[in-house]
Amino acid sequence: MKNRNEIAAVEFPVSPIRIRQCKCGCGYEFQPNRKDQLYIDKRHYDFDYNQNKRKVKNKHIIETEKQLRLNNRVLEKHYKAKIESQKKEPVKCYFDILKAEAFSTKNYMGISEEGSKIFYFLYDYYYRLFRNTNNQLIIEIYKHK
Ligand SMILES: [Zn+2]
């Protein structure tokens, strides 16, 4: 519990620089020695710096994984919608339709070449792209066995 003197010190700091909260997120308040001092000390600064570096690094991983899951989901949706009527693989769709559902060819988990065919792998499905005689981009969808 704070006594009267401590409260007075917070309300009327002796230093002309106001007490501020450390920028690292530790929750501690401190009396800065300089106007531009944002952290209690170098330890708190380093902690914040490393945390942010990790966050930026993970941000990229998180976004990539999100896109991979979305891609997988879009493939699954079209595969399931057509496999019943088509009876056999692969399921064929216009690529533009998948693209409109935010499917992206930038992210995939693996790649396999079989002759002139290139297959791109996702979690449960894989696909290849080609142009039909009308020059439309077609996606062939397969399910992992
Ligand atoms: Zn801190």
Q: 107-120 pLDDT, tens per residue?
A: 999 999 999 999 99
Same domain, 13 and 57: no
- Ligand 1 centroid distance, CA of 33 (Å): 15
Q: Say whether pLDDT at 75 is over 70.
A: yes
Same domain, 63 and 110: yes
- Ligand 1 centroid distance, CA of 93 (Å): 54
- Ligand 1 centroid distance, CA of 44 (Å): 4
Owning domain of residue 21? 1-40
Same domain, 20 and 69: no
Same domain, 124 and 56: yes
- Ligand 1 centroid distance, CA of 58 (Å): 22
Mean pLDDT of 99-109: 97
pTM greater than 0.85 (yes/no): no
Q: Say whether pLDDT at 139 is over 90.
A: yes
Q: Say whether pLDDT at 60 is over 70.
A: yes
91: which residues sit within 8 A by CB, 6+ positions away?
78, 79, 82, 83, 140, 141, 142
For the record, the structure tokens of 19 come out as 């007490």
Same domain, 30 and 54: no
Alpha-carbon span 62 to 144, nearest angstrom? 24
Same domain, 30 and 52: no
Cβ pair 123, 77 in contact under 8 A: no
Q: Say whether pLDDT at 132 is over 90.
A: yes
Number of domains making up the chain? 2
Same domain, 53 and 119: yes
The dihedrals phi and psi of 118, each to the nearest 5 degrees, come to -115, 125
